[in-house]
């Protein structure tokens, strides 16, 4: 019985360390940042916007590797250097490049692409590692 309890604790601990919770989604991990910009085919169509965000949130909530995530949209530009041409942005942090690659390959990410790629016309990705 004691062995089963230890195994259960280890399994729960490993799931919690990879899965997203409200607690671990609060701290940005500066080891690896993944920034994605999406241009929807019909950016003014509310139904498409809602479908995209719902699919993205479902994916991020199920991801075992994303430490933090931010979904945004462009504010009204206040300066000429601000590019507000995209419809949505996504910023995700990871503990490592390996975790980011696992995120790319996980089934929930592939399902998100399958569900939502029909909604966008363009995607640009910027990946960064910490300079410090």
Print pLDDT tens along the chain (132 aa): 544 333 333 333 333 333 444 454 557 778 899 999 999 999 999 999 999 999 999 999 999 999 888 999 999 877 888 889 999 999 999 999 999 999 999 999 999 999 999 999 999 999 999 887
b or e along 13-37 (b: 16 or more beta carbons within 10 Å of the residue's beta carbon)? eeeeeeebeeeebeeebeebbbebb
- Evaluate whether 40 touches 80 at the Cβ level (below 8 Å): no
Q: Which pLDDT belongs to residue 80? A: 85
- What's residue 77's pLDDT? 76
pTM of the predicted model, to two decimals?
0.77
What CATH number has the domain spanning 21-129? Answer: 3.30.70.100
Q: How confident is the model at residue 20, as a pLDDT?
A: 44
Enumerate the β-bridge partners of residue 32. Answer: 94, 129
For residue 3, the model assigns a pLDDT of 45
Show the DSSP H helices in 1-132 as ranges. Answer: 2-18, 46-62, 97-105, 107-116
In Å, what is the CA distance from 122 to each residue of 15, 41, 46, 101, 127? 34, 8, 18, 21, 17
Quote the CA–CA distance of 128 and 33 in Å, as a whole number: 5
Is 11 in a helix, a strand, or coil? Answer: helix
pLDDT score, position 26 = 57
- pLDDT of the residue at 110: 96
Dist. CA 113–CA 51, nearest whole Å: 13
């Amino acid at each position: 019985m004691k062995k089963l309890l230890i195994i259960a604790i280890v399994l729960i601990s490993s799931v919690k360390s990879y899965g997203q919770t409200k607690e671990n989604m609060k701290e940005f991990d500066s080891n690896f940042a993944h920034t994605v910009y999406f241009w929807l085919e019909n950016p003014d169509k509310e139904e498409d916007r809602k479908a995209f965000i719902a699919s993205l949130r479902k994916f991020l909530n199920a991801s075992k590797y994303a430490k933090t995530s931010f979904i945004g949209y462009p504010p009204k530009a206040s300066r000429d250097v601000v590019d507000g041409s995209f419809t949505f942005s996504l910023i995700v942090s990871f503990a490592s490049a390996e975790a980011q690659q696992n995120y790319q390959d996980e089934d929930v990410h592939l399902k998100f692409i399958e569900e939502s790629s029909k909604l966008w016309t363009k995607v640009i990705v910027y990946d960064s590692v910490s300079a410090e």
